[in-house]
Every structure is written in C-alpha cells, then in structure tokens.
C-alpha cells in the first residue's frame, strides 16, 4: 500500500522471535517477486496481484507483512520500492554478507560462478577443498584454498555464512569444523541431516527431495 512520506514508518523487529519461521520463509519470495515487478518498471502492486503471481492468498500476504508493521492504506496498493527496502531490512540483506564455500567440484563450481548472489546480498569470499589438484585454481572471482586454512580464513574474511557442497560422506566433518570456527549459518547441498548445536541454523537444498515431491502428483 502506498504511504505518504509522513506516514511511512521503519520496520520493527522487536518481536522477531515470536514470528513463525514459515512466515520468514515466505518473505524472500515476496522480495523476489517485487524486484521482478520493479524490473518491469512497475511502481505499485497489491496483495491480490502478489498472490496471483505466487499462488498465495492476498489475506495471507497481508497477514505475513502485518507481523512487521503497517505498510500502507487499504485500497491503494503497495509502493514497490518502499516495500522492497523494508523487506531487505527485515531479512538483513540491505548489506552484503561474506560467504565461504566448501567443495570445489562440479556443484561448487556452479555455485561459485552464479552471478546472482551479490545483487541479492551475498558474496563468496573464499572457496576450500582438500584436493591438491584443485587448490590454487581460479573459481568464480576467487581461487580455491586449502581446507586446512578454513578457520583462519573465516576470521580474516569475517565470513558469517558457509555453503557445504561436498559428498555426503564428508558433510558432517565439514560442518563440525565450520561450527568450531564459529559459523552459525550453514547452507548444505549434501543429502544428509547434519548434527549441529542448537544455536546453529542449517538450511538444506536437495533436488531429489523436490523431485520426489513432484512425482507423487504424477502417479
């Protein structure tokens, strides 16, 4: 919804611990859709239009956003630029986060060369592997480093997020060393459920899980 300059208020995160995680999980999807609309030259959208794009009810979108404050007046739509900025603040992507990648195989190479990270708040600052043949090779914008230097380089780069792109057999060992080095946010591509302390947040990407979800509906 459009806000006048006088009525716009900055988002509050005081009660963030009370917000359901499923709501937080939808915010990046809202942000992505708003950016696509902005790229099309749009200035204003509505919860109904967002819902049609995403297959989510307009009521759900309004409810999700209401956890973080009031963003406008009913009936006039959302100012896309303003709402994008607010969602970036909520998600802490109004800055660029330093990320380390462990695994310089085919998957790691694809991740390292993906051009869409930095514009959305993430920069790969170091890549690690144990394969001597890969150490020193350029990958993306950096060179592959020895996994033995992981802890030291995490401190030097001030990285706070790690990506695990190694075989399943090595994933837990890598996670243990990332946690020991002080990281509390891990994105894991290995098809395994990692054992980590309660304060460590792990997100998983396993394409097979999504394939299996889809094939249920093909039967």
Query: For every residue of 132-154, which 3-state class applies, written as one string?
Result: CCCCCCEECCEEEEEHHHHHHHH
Considering only residues 42 and 15, tell me which one the structure prediction assigns the higher pLDDT: 42
- For the chain, the average pLDDT equals 91
Whether the predicted pLDDT of 219 surpasses 60: yes
Listed residues 90, 105, 128: the one ending a domain:
90
Asked if 111 and 163 count as a contact pair (C-beta separation under 8 A), the reply is yes
Residue 5 placed within a domain: no
- What CATH number is given to the structural domain containing 166? 3.40.50.720
Residue 126 placed within a domain: yes
Whether the predicted pLDDT of 73 surpasses 90: no
Asked if 18 and 94 count as a contact pair (C-beta separation under 8 A), the reply is no
Residue 2 placed within a domain: no
Residue 193 placed within a domain: yes
Residue 9 placed within a domain: no
Counting every residue, how long is the chain?
219
Shared domain for 103 and 198, answered yes or no, is: yes
Shared domain for 76 and 133, answered yes or no, is: no
Q: Tens digit of pLDDT for each residue in 38-56? A: 999 999 999 999 999 999 9
Q: Which of 7-16, 85-94, 95-104 has the lowest mean pLDDT?
A: 7-16
Shared domain for 107 and 161, answered yes or no, is: yes
Overall domain count for the chain: 2
Whether the predicted pLDDT of 100 surpasses 70: yes
Burial readout 43-80 (b: 16 or more C-beta within 10 A, e: otherwise): ebbbbebbbebeebeeeebbebbebbeebbeeeebbbb
Expressed in percent and rounded to 5, the helix, strand and coil fractions of the chain are 45, 15, 40
3-state secondary structure of 160: coil
Q: What percent of the chain has pLDDT over 90?
A: 87
Residue-number span of the structural domain to which 143 is assigned = 97-210
d(CA 191, CA 4): 48
pLDDT at 72: 61
- What CATH number is given to the structural domain containing 62? 1.10.10.10
Listed residues 36, 61, 90: the one ending a domain:
90
- Kindly indicate the confidence band of residue 71, based on its pLDDT and cuts at 50, 70 and 90: confident
Shared domain for 201 and 107, answered yes or no, is: yes
Mean per-residue pLDDT, 126-150: 97
Shared domain for 50 and 110, answered yes or no, is: no
Residue 216 placed within a domain: no
Asked if 22 and 29 count as a contact pair (C-beta separation under 8 A), the reply is no
161-164 and 97-102 strand pairing: parallel
């Amino acid at each position: 919804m459009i806000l006048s300059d006088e009525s716009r208020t900055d988002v509050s995160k005081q009660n963030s611990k009370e917000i359901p995680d499923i709501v937080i999980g939808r915010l990046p999807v809202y942000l992505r859709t708003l950016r696509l609309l902005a790229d099309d030259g749009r200035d204003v959208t509505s919860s109904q239009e967002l819902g049609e794009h995403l297959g989510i009810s307009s009521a759900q979108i309004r409810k999700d956003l209401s956890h973080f404050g009031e963003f406008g007046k009913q009936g006039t739509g959302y100012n896309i630029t303003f709402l994008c900025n607010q969602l970036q603040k909520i998600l802490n992507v109004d800055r660029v986060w330093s990320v380390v990648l462990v695994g310089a195989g085919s998957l790691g190479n694809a991740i390292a060369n993906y051009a869409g990270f930095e514009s959305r708040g993430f920069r790969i600052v170091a890549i690690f592997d144990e394969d001597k043949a890969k150490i020193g090779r350029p990958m993306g914008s950096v060179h592959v480093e020895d996994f033995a230097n992981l802890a030291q380089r995490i401190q030097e780069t001030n990285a706070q997020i790690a990506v695990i792109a190694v075989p399943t057999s090595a994933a837990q060992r890598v996670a243990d060393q990332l946690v020991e080095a002080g990281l509390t946010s891990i994105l894991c591509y290995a098809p395994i459920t990692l054992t980590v302390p309660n304060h460590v947040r792990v997100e998983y990407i396993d394409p097979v899980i999504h394939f299996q979800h889809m094939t249920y509906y093909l039967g």
